[in-house]
Amino acid sequence: MFPTTQRRMGVIGLGLGFGLALSGCAGFGNLGTQPGVTTVTLASVNNPQMQDMAQLLPEFNKLHPEIKINMIFMEENDLRNAATKDVATQGGQYDIMTVGAYEVPIWGQNRWLVDLTDLAAKDPSYDVADFFKPVRDGVSYDGRLYAVPFYGESSFLMYRKDLFQQAGITMPERPTWDQVAEYAAKLKDPSKDRAGICLRAKPGWGEMFAPLTTVVNTFGGQWYNMDWQAQVNSPGFTDAVKFYIKTLDQSGEGDPVSFGFTECLNLFSQDRAAMWYDATSAAGSVEDPKNSRVAGKVGYVRAPVKLTQNSGWLWSWNLGINAKSKHKEAAWEFVKWATSKDYAKLVGSTLGWSRTPPGTRKSTYEIPEYVQAGGDFAPLTAKIMNEVDPTKPGVDPQPWVGIQYVTIPEFQDVGNQTSQLLADVIAGRRTLTAALDEGQKIAQRAGNNQKKG
């Protein structure tokens, strides 16, 4: 599926900007070396679910006092750069990494991650079959498991029910993007520093292009056609980007290129946006009254559409063990604990049921307390994850499996560079036509590699 992947991925990995600023990392856990104690280093994206994991480390230490976990948090883009460098150069700096669904099959093919298939099957109580099959398949290569899901997600539209009611607007169960733009324009309120909608525009294929690619798909665009011809400056892609930028300009948050998932979560949770289109996994944080001013005021509907019947992405954050780790056995003990059935119950009973990692284990949706706490968003999440089609998410067929990304090694670089070009458009430093024409050239170079095989 990925010819000559290792050579190309290695070149790409070494070519990335690895300027990981120390100020961008945050450590959490057990530092230092103690006799008889194995220290395992975990590089993690700084999402709320992973920060919950850090809070629960003392519970793991009660079971395994001989293992200490040193968690290093990074922004999503920094994590990708640092982890890719580590595995591509076989550095072995990190024992465990949170790895996205895009990277796992590629890294698995390259043998950069430990094959977990036999380890996971060895303990019947771990129950691998309990993971949702689409999510489990997404972290496998050639039928072997190279990471285990920590949480899975699709995307949906979150909206403030109280503000919609005050404005006399009824949100449809399946809104169109034209309706959403209209509602955002009506509900923005500069006097209260409230945006009509928050949309990610921070550069990065996993930041800006996670939601934007779903908009491209439903507007009839795509990254490549079946012949691997790039389509970045084609009408469908162009129309979607124009719409996205116009909506941000008219009704979005200020300084949008500074907003990724974390920033939009903070904005929406602090009553400063009427709508937010993003990951279904955000709902647990949005509904946490300890950290959210809008808990209990939010409604959830399917991802907006234009030309397709359904939209929304499919993604999972997973725990993988570096093939060059010197502490594989200790690393697996932690990975198994953090992705077990009991961990879901531990999070719910300790931190609150709405914060239970969603979208990975079927058994989570059989926990009465979680179902009750999940309210509207839990059952909707399960429905959406069954409706999305990663084989054909847009209008036209595509030669890869994936919704908000293209499963080729070069896409990380293609998406990052193109998103930076669009950030320049948003900032007024470049025209949209010039940006998309340049993005087309960048994407075509990667497409040509696929044509060569």
* Confidence check: pLDDT of 10 > 80: no
List CB contacts of 380: < 8 A, sequence separation 6 or more.
156, 280, 300, 301, 302
CA distance 252 to 259: 11
* Confidence check: pLDDT of 254 > 50: yes
pLDDT tier, 31 (very low <50, low <70, confident <90, very high otherwise) = very low
**pLDDT of res. 13:** 40
* Confidence check: pLDDT of 19 > 90: no
Average pLDDT over residues 2-23: 38
Q: Which helix (H) or strand (E) holds 181?
A: helix 177-187
**pLDDT of res. 276:** 98
Average pLDDT, the chain: 90
The amino acid sitting at 380 is L
Of 133, 17, 64, residue with least CA distance to 338:
64
**pLDDT of res. 33:** 60
Average pLDDT over residues 20-35: 48
- The answer to whether the beta carbons of residues 215 and 240 sit under 8 Å apart is yes
Sheet holding 26-29, edge to edge: 26-29, 67-74, 38-45, 96-100, 315-321, 148-153
- More confidently predicted of 192 and 36: 192
* Confidence check: pLDDT of 367 > 70: yes
List CB contacts of 253: < 8 A, sequence separation 6 or more.
195, 198, 199, 259, 264, 267, 272, 273
Average pLDDT over residues 321-343: 97
Average pLDDT over residues 365-377: 86
C-alpha distance from residue 101 to each of 120, 282, 354, 407 (Å): 18, 18, 23, 10
Burial 339-348 (b: 16+ CB within 10 A, else e): bbbebbbbbb
**pLDDT of res. 76:** 84
Average pLDDT over residues 33-53: 90
**pLDDT of res. 163:** 98
CA distance 285 to 162: 19
Q: Which helix (H) or strand (E) holds 138?
A: helix 133-138
* Confidence check: pLDDT of 1 > 60: no
Average pLDDT over residues 355-365: 89
pLDDT over 70, % of the chain: 92
Of 299, 260, 286, 294, residue with least CA distance to 355:
286
As given in the structure block, the two tokens for residue 306 are 């234009």
C-alpha distance from residue 36 to each of 39, 68, 94, 197 (Å): 10, 11, 20, 52
- More confidently predicted of 398 and 452: 398
As given in the structure block, the two tokens for residue 124 are 């019947």
| Highest mean pLDDT out of 71-85, 260-274, 275-289 | 260-274
- More confidently predicted of 77 and 148: 148
pLDDT tier, 7 (very low <50, low <70, confident <90, very high otherwise) = very low
Q: Which helix (H) or strand (E) holds 150?
A: strand 148-153
Q: DSSP character for 260? A: -
CA distance 148 to 131: 9
**pLDDT of res. 219:** 98
* Confidence check: pLDDT of 298 > 70: yes
- The answer to whether the beta carbons of residues 404 and 216 sit under 8 Å apart is no
Average pLDDT over residues 276-293: 92
pLDDT tens across 417-448, in order?
A: 999 999 999 999 999 999 999 999 999 999 99
* Confidence check: pLDDT of 4 > 50: no
pTM above 0.85, yes or no: no
CA distance 184 to 196: 4
**pLDDT of res. 374:** 79
CA distance 208 to 260: 7
**pLDDT of res. 69:** 97
- Tell me which of 63-67, 117-121, 273-277, 286-290 is least confident: 286-290
